[in-house]
Amino acid sequence: MAPSVAVENLNPKVLKCEYAVRGEIVIHAQRLQQQLQTQPGSLPFDEILYCNIGNPQSLGQKPVTFFREVLALCDHPSLLEKEETKSLFSADAISRAKEILAAIPGRATGAYSHSQGIKGLRDAIAAGIASRDGFPANADDIFVTDGASPGVHMMMQLLLRDEKDGILCPIPQYPLYSASIALHGGTLVPYYLDEKTGWGLEISDLKKQLEDARSKGIDVRALVVINPGNPTGQDNQCDIVRFCKNEGLVLLADEVYQENIYVDDKKFNSFKKIARSIGYGEDDLPLVSFQSVSKGYYGECGKRGGYMEITGFSAPVREQVYKIASVNLCSNITGQILASLVMNPPKVGDESYAAYKAEKDGILQSLARRAKALEDAFNNLEGISCNKAEGAMYLFPQIHLPQKAIEAAKAANKAPDAFYALRLLESTGIVVVPGSGFGQVPGTWHIRCTILPQEEKIPAVITRFKAFHEAFMAEYRD
Amino acid sequence: MAPSVAVENLNPKVLKCEYAVRGEIVIHAQRLQQQLQTQPGSLPFDEILYCNIGNPQSLGQKPVTFFREVLALCDHPSLLEKEETKSLFSADAISRAKEILAAIPGRATGAYSHSQGIKGLRDAIAAGIASRDGFPANADDIFVTDGASPGVHMMMQLLLRDEKDGILCPIPQYPLYSASIALHGGTLVPYYLDEKTGWGLEISDLKKQLEDARSKGIDVRALVVINPGNPTGQDNQCDIVRFCKNEGLVLLADEVYQENIYVDDKKFNSFKKIARSIGYGEDDLPLVSFQSVSKGYYGECGKRGGYMEITGFSAPVREQVYKIASVNLCSNITGQILASLVMNPPKVGDESYAAYKAEKDGILQSLARRAKALEDAFNNLEGISCNKAEGAMYLFPQIHLPQKAIEAAKAANKAPDAFYALRLLESTGIVVVPGSGFGQVPGTWHIRCTILPQEEKIPAVITRFKAFHEAFMAEYRD
């Protein structure tokens, strides 16, 4: 009898799905890491440096103390009855934990919550959004999720009927979108960001790609925009909002990097704020905003907290979203609490404020310096050009590979950027993701590298990278 | 322009999916709960009692102290450096937290982990399984998940290509399975458990349903079994294992109730233990065991912890599972830690052992008494017959509804059991789930009711239920 489960009889959508940030290079890196443990000294480096994924705490970033104090108190509420607790925890962490516990029915941090998340925490999140945007937000519009990814999956599951349904996604894109679209059997409709204008988004290109997809019979359901990131200003955001309304698209706004802005002249404006500012209400535009505790200065990836704010969906459609959320019961309560905290951090006058502010500023200023140092280093190397990192946690330098390197890659049966990334890993222990995992203009090659190594390690990273790159170019220069 | 998102253009799989435990009755209950808050005294009861879902802590069950101590210390590790901590936490919680932090790369409880979960925690889980079963378990076979549900979804996503792929599921079943199969576009192939033999599982019925499905062109991929629950002994389990091997089915063993056994003559035997006991190895049987921190005496539903242990899958198939897990990055670290704890609770000699044992025994003995009290109460009522609750957290009494009640339900456009459950809710505030959400032999009507209300409330629950039922029967008696 044939094996009951074999690759040949699995769901082809699963087989088709690719997830570059945890793909071949990362699996190889994990193998090398094991080798370093079992045979120290057997490789030309002594540690693996994971620059493949935005995972700040894995590279030494410390969590914000206030957040962790509140989580510990909520995990073990009987601490609140002990005298010693007052000397171990800040007064505002204690009062915040009490507020949160009071908002949880039965103070039960170990109970399934409402499928959308604990109402009191959603109230706090909505208040945080309203204060950020200057427009009202409603707890009933909030679906608290285990990080942003499950929210994205839910939207894809809701919208995609078959491969004739498409989602407009930026290229380069975040692999979550291509993976989720593949898993749910839809079609990714690409639009290219313009590398020359710092990854700008041209409405004319959006329009062209939309029409092109429609001419092929694709029913384009939604537009994904990374904000901040791709839209390069408020005017551009207004144009995107109008485009979605006019074309009948759901706007899926990935706003998880809202706190990661490293230049003074930029400011985060949520798409909901922009839409309301130009007078668009619920009826004009179905809009979903994703936020996560994994990014920002908080970087609490492992806690799996986040939310999506859904506006402009009819009641019957929203019931379907509620149903999907219910099948997963609820997101984890620790992550729910954290989502409420990042949207309502300590305020001026709170005992923790000074320490919180110092931790936050320290992290963000260091990220800005690291981004600049890496960007400069890339731009100083032969055959590499790199846009400014104005936000998020990544650089996406273009590697102008010599023809000989491209041929060597072909001989090794690898994409040229994957060939480069693999050689980089094997020489230096630095893990980056080949640009092909994100999409790139055909014939161009990139790598994606996070800006997250600890600041004191950055000079060594640059030195290792430079030595590798120069040797690589010397080997393959045409 | 037509609305861009409307029920008519959503994924039909989403529309088809039903999830009874959070369905119409529960949404109605939430409305009544709001009414109780805004207009106290406006309903014939003063609280809503949620018996629809196995959510013990929402009904007052306290978490196990040791588990919460460890979680708090892991959330805020700087506590471990403080002198006061020694008086606030038990010594073994402190040492366990240190062990766990040492097993986490960089002690980073806020970092994404390996997609399968932190290796050191998987080692601990595997050790717990090995000690439970007396057969080896391997950390590489463990995928730590946010509760058991995501594991079930992953398996359905992997196995189901289209509606011609089927999964054998027990009826009555857990709605997670029907919901997940619907969402992933497969076909639920039912097999009926025998109410007369205490929900026994007959291999002959399995065989018949399998052949029937095959004759309709369904490719049956897997068998779902709830254990403990349906298989009524080791012989029955051996037969199931042989059946899966002979028929080329994946055995999906839902083993989340492994600690919930209330009768002395029953003992939990995992399907892996049974398979290995009769000499079946990896090559004989693809087997997935699901476990969760939500059930047992721990009842930590809101923490979303759990795992699946996968054996008997080929390496290329397992790579696909790894890929799906990677797209979700990782399960939440708090839940991962808790999964390692429930599989390795305090042992004789540990400082916490006595308190832990008293908490565990207190919870399980109380659950057994509550199950018995409710079962007796149901069996003492006219027209209700209820099997023994030997495990899990639920009773599934059959309500022999009078014809007049069935007609009244029809007139109200409701299934008779839904009609009954709605009337029960409106009269008493007790929330149960109509049997139709679980499947039942056509023409029979049931309700599902958890045994979880606090023990001191059980007499009042019984009194309210009895008064409602007697009035209902008086109204509709034929």
For residue range B266-312, list pLDDT tens digits in order: 889 999 999 999 999 999 999 999 999 999 999 999 999 999 999 99
Say if CB B203 and CB B168 are below 8 A apart.
no
pLDDT for the residue A199: 86
Which of A11, A55, A75 lies at the smallest CB-CB distance from B157? A11
Taking CA B342 as the corner, what is the angle to CA B181 and CA B57, rounded to the nearest 5 degrees? 75
Q: Which residue has the higher pLDDT, B24 or A115?
A: A115
pLDDT for the residue B2: 53
pLDDT for the residue A3: 62
At B444, is the secondary structure helix, strand, or coil? coil
Say if CB A271 and CB A287 are below 8 A apart.
yes
pLDDT for the residue B79: 96
pLDDT for the residue B18: 82
> What distances in angstroms separate CA A468 from CA A381, A424, A462, B445, one per listed residue?
11, 7, 10, 72
Q: What is the per-residue pLDDT across B408-459, written as a single tens digit (0 to 9) for each? A: 999 999 999 999 999 999 999 999 999 988 888 899 999 999 999 999 999 9
Best mutation target, B1, B11, B168, B297, to test chain A (most A CBs within 10 A): B11
ipTM: 0.94
| Numbers of helices and strands, H then E, in chain A | 17, 14
pLDDT for the residue A56: 92
pLDDT for the residue B390: 72
B349 Cα to chain A: minimum distance (Å): 23
Listed by number, the residues of chain A in 343-372 with a beta carbon closer than 8 Å to a beta carbon of chain B are none
pLDDT for the residue B266: 83
B281: left (phi over 0), alpha (psi -120 to 50) or beta: beta
Q: What is the per-residue pLDDT across B95-135, written as a single tens digit (0 to 9) for each? A: 999 999 999 988 999 999 999 999 999 999 999 999 999 99
B73 Cα to chain A: minimum distance (Å): 7
Note whether B158 contacts A329, CB cutoff 8 Å.
no
pLDDT for the residue A478: 81
B60 Cα to chain A: minimum distance (Å): 7
Note whether A323 contacts B75, CB cutoff 8 Å.
no
Q: For domain B112-342, say whether CATH 3.40.1400.10 is its number.
A: no
Radius of gyration of chain A (CA): 23
Where does the pLDDT of residue B231 fall: very low under 50, low under 70, confident under 90, or very high at 90 and above?
low
pLDDT of residue B211 exceeding 80, the answer is yes
pLDDT for the residue A53: 86
B225 Cα to chain A: minimum distance (Å): 17
Where does the pLDDT of residue B197 fall: very low under 50, low under 70, confident under 90, or very high at 90 and above?
confident
Domain limits, chain B: 7-60+358-476, 112-342
Best mutation target, A5, A180, A359, A431, to test chain B (most B CBs within 10 A): A5
Tell me which fold the domain A7-60+358-476 belongs to. Answer: Aspartate Aminotransferase, domain 1 (3.90.1150)
Give the integer Cα–Cα distance in Å for B295 and B367: 12
Where does the pLDDT of residue B199 fall: very low under 50, low under 70, confident under 90, or very high at 90 and above?
confident
> Consecutive 10-residue runs of chain A (478 residues): their mean pLDDT?
80 87 83 92 92 90 97 96 94 97 93 95 98 97 97 97 96 89 95 89 94 97 90 87 96 95 87 97 95 96 98 95 92 98 97 97 94 94 89 90 95 95 96 90 93 92 95 92
pLDDT for the residue B438: 86
Say if CB A337 and CB A100 are below 8 A apart.
yes
Burial of B366 (0-12, 13-18, 19+ CB in 10 A): middle
pLDDT for the residue B170: 93
Which of A5, A58, A73 lies at the smallest CB-CB distance from B112? A58
Give the integer Cα–Cα distance in Å for A355 and A173: 36
A302 Cα to chain B: minimum distance (Å): 4
Give the integer Cα–Cα distance in Å for A386 and A67: 35
Contacts of B329 in chain A (CB under 8 A): 22, 147, 149, 301, 304
Where does the pLDDT of residue B172 fall: very low under 50, low under 70, confident under 90, or very high at 90 and above?
confident
pLDDT of residue B3 exceeding 70, the answer is no
A164 interfacial to chain B (CB closer than 8 Å): no
Average pLDDT, whole number, for chain B? 93
| Angle of helix A119-133 versus helix A91-103 axis, rounded to 10 | 120
Mean pLDDT for the stretch of residues B229-251: 90
